[in-house]
Chain A
Amino acid sequence: MQFLFRLLRNNLFPVTFILLLGISLAQVLRFNLYQESFYFNSSKNILNTTARLQNSVGAYFKLSDENKALVAQNQQLLNSGFQNVMPTDTNIFVVKDSNGAKRYEYQVAHVIKSNTRLRNNFITIDKGSNNGIKKGMAVISPVGIVGLVFDVTENFSLVLPVLNSKFVTTPMIPEIGFREGSVTWNGLDPDLAQLNYVNKFENLKPGMKILTSNYSIKFPPGVPIGTIKTVKKKATSSFYEINIKLAVDFKKIGYVFVVKDNFRAQLDTLQVQEDQLNVP
């Protein structure tokens, strides 16, 4: 025992170093292995107030891009409305009633902090549990998907965007009935995401629009992810190498919508039952 103490005292410098390194590495491992957030919470509310102040200045420079995105979305909404439908066949008529259940509700939030430079980036928005935001909700912008809510405090939430190693979603291309593979980001160019695990005999071409799948329970179906930029065949692999130009410019992101899925609880219950059945 005495020997141990003497050893510790003689090597106090390396021991202190290992202690401090351990404290910080524990954080890194926690994130990378267990996907839990730890001190994201601790300092959020104080520091985010300053970030919001800074953003109130920066927001003015993004206004023109925001306007363009909102005008495009308005146009799309106008085009998709029922008021444009005029029955040409007199035997068919459209019944408008309030019988259906509303599935998705959207809430506007303001991005106060975002980063695109790291491998694992995060976005902070100024709505939290006080506004009914919960972990796992989808976040979309007027032009496409942004990410998922990763952590919530009372007034702020942390969003895990597409530009993070932990982000995965399933795509769909309705024109060719394509629903496979997964969209991830390789950590290099913040404009380009990757579409993996797509078999070489699928007829994919550059320029095709990729939307969120209706098989995904994370995102509402039909939200743009991006357009295919390059499709490469590799001799050693049975899959394509596909780059997607993301619909959202994460460097200029300003306003987002947080999507509340009213059927999420029902879907989760079914998922639990499915998991129980699959237990060997």
Chain B
Amino acid sequence: MFLDILRYIFIGLLLVLLQFYLVQEVNFGTWIKPLPYIYLLFILPFQSNKFLSLFIGFALGFFLDAISDTYGMHAAAGVSLAFIKHYVDKGLIDIDAIQLQGYSYLTPGWKGFRFYAVYTLLLIFIHHFIFFSLDYFKLSSFFLIMAVSIFSTIVSFLFILLFLSVSGRR
């Protein structure tokens, strides 16, 4: 248990530093601003406390805010993602069944890749949309926010697939 907590803290730190030192430094293009650090929320085990995941979403964003001068935008988007993910999990996934089959979090191995892609893309899009809405903070740039969110979601998803394949647990 203690080792698990250490492992998650380590992964979280790694993701935030990767986001800050690598992903944010690379210019992918005008419309593409991926935020793959939210991968941590996707690998939290189903049996973990729902309050804990809220605080993890908040802390992850708060830490990234503190180092990249974004005044609360990452924290707001992170905590919203953790909140919404709790209800999406309840609605889309049979949690008892998936735990009996030995999965601690959702992977493409359960119910196939298409289900995983829809579930992940939906949640990433919600997070990115909240983040970029707070960033632009103008109703008149709604379509701009939509476009940036959609393109960034796709690239973030590719990053998350990369992280999944690196972590090596199918």
Chain A positions within 8 Å of B, measured between CB atoms, are 12-14, 16-17, 20-21, 23-28, 30-32, 37-40, 42-43, 47, 51, 54, 113, 115-120, 122, 124, 158, 165, 187-189, 251
Contacts and interface: CB of A to CB of B under 8 A. Distances in A.
Contacts of A37: 71
A43 B67 contact: yes
Nearest to B83: A17
A32 B137 contact: yes
A47 B66 contact: yes
B72 A28 contact: yes
B165 interface: no
Interface of B: 21, 24, 27, 30, 33, 50-51, 54-55, 58, 61-62, 65-73, 75-76, 79-80, 82-83, 86, 132, 134-137, 141, 144
Nearest to B72: A27
Contacts of A38: 71
Given A17-B80, A28-B71, A40-B69, 13 more contacts: A13-B54, A17-B54, A17-B79, A20-B54, A20-B75, A23-B58, A24-B72, A26-B72, A28-B73, A47-B66, A47-B67, A115-B24, A122-B69
Contacts of A187: 136, 141, 144
Contacts of B51: 12-13, 16
A28 B76 contact: yes
A28 to B, nearest CB: 5
Given A17-B79, A187-B136, A158 B71 contact: no
6 contacts: A13-B51, A17-B80, A24-B76, A28-B72, A38-B71, A42-B66
